[in-house]
Amino acid sequence: MKIIIAGAGAMGSRFGIMLHKGGNDVTLVDGWPDHVNAIKENGLKANFNGEDITVNIPVMLQSEISAGEKADLIILFTKSMQLDKMLQDVKPLIAPETKILCLLNGIGHEDTIEKYIPMENIFIGNTMWTAGLVGPGQVKLFGSGSVELQNLGKNQEDSAKQLAQVLSDSGLNAKYSDNIHYSIYRKACVNGTMNCLCSILDVNMAEFGATKPAHDIVVTVVNEFAAVAKHEGVDLDVKEVVEHVESCFDPETIGKHYPSMYQDLINNHRLTEIDYINGAVARKGKKYGIPTPYCDLLTQLIHCKEDILEAK
C-alpha cells in the first residue's frame, strides 16, 4: 500500500517505521529541513525498544512536493497549527480515492480537513502509542500502544475496518471504534487540563495534583468539555473522565512527567496547540451559546505565556 506519513516527527516516524517494516510503500513528508536531510543522508535512526536500527524510507520536504505517485493513504501527524499548510502541500499526492487518517491530538480537525478532502475519505482516530524525538533523523520508540479509528463519511465502516487491519498488520494494534468522538473528547480532557495547568503553574502533573484546588479546577474544565461535546451528540461520563484525568497525578506512574505543552512552551519556547484543545472548546462554546469561561481564560493565559516567552 502506498502510504504517506504527513508530519514525520516522533510519532509519525514510529508509524512510518512500523508500516515500512510491515511491507508497505511508505514515504515520509515533513517541514523541518534538518530532519528531512538527516533521513535522506543517513536513513531514519531509531532506538526501537532498546535496539538501534536504521531504516531507509523515502522522505520529502513538504515545500518541495510538486507531483508524484498518488497515495492510497495519507496519515496526518503534524502539530495542529501546521495541519492546514500540510494539506495544501500534499495536495499533488491526493487522488480522488486517497484515504486520509487524522491522528492528531486535539479536537475539531475535521473542520480543516473537510476543506480539502471529501468526507467519505476522511477517517479520524487517536493513538496511545508514544514516541520521542532525539534530534534530526533520530527517534526513540519504547513500549506498546494502540489505535482507535472511525470513518467520518456515511457507510464507510468497512473501509475503516480495513484501514484498522492495515495498521494492525504492521503491529500497530488498531481497531475500529463506533464512537471515536467519545475517545477523542476523553483524551482532549486530559490534554485540556494537564497541558495548560502544568505549563501555567510550572509544575509536573503530580505537583499540580497535590494542590488543594486541582480537583475543582479539573471538574470545572471537564464539565465545559462535556457541555460542548453533548451539543455534538457525545455524552461524556464526567465522573469517569475526571477519574481518568486524575490518574495522571499518580507519582508512581506518570505523575512526575511534564506534559508535551510544558516541554514545547516552557522548555523550548515553541507555540502551543492550545487553540486546538481548550481554545477549540472555547470557539465551539461560543458558536453553540455554551459558556466556557475556564477554557477561555486558560487559553488566554497560555497565549500570554507564548507572548512573554517569545514562542515561535
Q: In the chain, count of helices (H) and strands (E)?
A: 13, 12
- By CB under 8 A, tell whether 256 contacts a second copy: no
Cα–Cα distance between 162 and 88 in angstroms, integer? 26
Choose the stretch contacting a second copy; rule: CB under 8 A; options: 8-16, 52-60, 209-217, 269-277.
Answer: 209-217
- By CB under 8 A, tell whether 294 contacts a second copy: yes
Choose the stretch contacting a second copy; rule: CB under 8 A; options: 43-51, 66-74, 148-156, 198-206.
Answer: 198-206
Gyration radius (Cα) of the chain, Å:
19
How is residue 133 written as a grid cell?
524525538
From the list 61, 81, 133, 217, which residue makes contact with a second copy (rule: CB under 8 A)? 217
Of the pair 33, 293, the CB lying nearest a second copy is at 293
- By CB under 8 A, tell whether 171 contacts a second copy: no
Question: Phi and psi at residue 53, in whole multiples of 5°?
Answer: -130, 160
DSSP 246-279: HGGG-TTTTTTSPPHHHIIIIIT----SGGGTHH
Considering only residues 123 to 142 of the shown chain, the ones binding a second copy according to CB under 8 A are: none
Considering only residues 235 to 254 of the shown chain, the ones binding a second copy according to CB under 8 A are: none
From the list 216, 252, 267, 289, which residue makes contact with a second copy (rule: CB under 8 A)? 216
Q: Number of residues in contact with a second copy, rule: CB under 8 A? A: 28
Binding site for a second copy (CB under 8 A): 197, 200-203, 207-208, 210-214, 216-217, 220, 291, 293-294, 296-298, 300-301, 303-305, 307-308
